[in-house]
Structure 1
């Protein structure tokens, strides 16, 4: 995979919000479900997901920026920078290899200069033994079980299998109240999935070990949540807003009216003379909060805005009103 910043099309100074926004945009464009006839899109989608996984992790992003890991998250050469520039001792010591018999030579990647060195003496010094002992070269790949590997790098651990991407459409009311969802995995098994508190459109959930098999074990399942829109509810942070129409007589006389919530209808008490635009609060009927702790998540409120609906047949109303005029001056505060 190329540089994760380039993959997401963002600058290296991008904020967490910009990283997330860039990934969400690419994920919607490149998702395999929308590009079934374009294998390159699936590959780009996988690259974008890997780039997001790295840059959304503060520790991994810092390691990458410092050059400690590559774009795949693998450690870079732990011995980089150990070549030229060391102090030179008598007779050459450590150095750039310009002088024969100088021990380690950069031109041979700090290998042994066997032209001018007695290997028997060298290995006696390393492993002990008398002068008449036959020198044996080190085990293939380095000294000891975890010593120097090929060209000074330890062999990378076997890679896990590829991740499997899933898209989970969640109804608005289920997302708001945190209802568990059922999802069928690639192996045909259906599992119950608990939504995180404060879930929103674009939230990603990682299912450990639910990806493809690989030499280093199974990859993960990556579930992207898509919260469906609702015909009359709308989210406002941790709160849910809606407009509730009421009749003219309900506004004048007051009383109890039914009001929908994501948990089912409740009775709302109107005061006589309720005005249109009045906002009423239903405590604890909003969205689950990210700050929730314990089994029962905390929730925001539902904010209900009253809308007075005039009757379709105004003749009867006009007849009852007669010549009556409302003495109130509702626009006086505007200077009108």
Structure 2
């Protein structure tokens, strides 16, 4: 779903009256009856209704704002993580004289190999007379070996540096920890959920993973895929945390219920009406009670999304009052008489 504030053209701190006025103006401008030559008029009208339905409800609006803030924080965290990895890869080759553990110990001010350093720092015993030639021989034999092993120490790779940092922060150098999770969104339609279509996401290594969609799936649902996230050396692979987003269409998703607009003319709203609407799985009969006002909801049980226990939510048809394409003189006279107290 597009940002409802952008759809209605209001600011995020807009009041309910401003939101309602914006929706009325937009609905009138994009209504399909006023835009016969525009094939996308129905989509825009539905999108406007969905945006208004979300923002007019304080609880839904608060939940949406909170989800947007959390998503923005996740994106910022990913950007910081990628920037840190990029810097680590850039700087690693210049640190050819130390491995990851040595470098992290130096940064944190703790010598990870202090016992070895202390042993090396102890003063050597003074050679006794007559022992110098033998010691010099041994020293000469050992020096070439040291020269051969020194170049073998390569720069610490970025993954090793990150692993060492995480282990150092968590206070265990040898304990195996988990790499960060991969956070992603996947967009589906109501029809995709009902037909159990499996959308795909791509891992950082370029691997394609199919996301299971079925019973219990709705807008905002979080699906965790074990060990499908980031890979870091010496760490257990992270998970993929996927949030399901339902694309705007004929239906609006509210938990496991589906909402749809039901355009009704004034005379049918006043007198009542028997009609048929297109449900998610086919045509459904609907009875509009007499004297039905705009935004009145007609609930059709068991025609929504499937829950984890196998039950299904409801389909909710919301009445939207419409005027005729052309002005009707009799209706105008009737409305004028009601407003001004005149009787014909």
TM-score using structure 1 length = 0.42
Which is richer in helix?
Answer: 2
Q: TM-score w.r.t. structure 2 length? A: 0.41
- More relative contact order, 1 or 2 (CA 8 Å, 6+ apart): 2
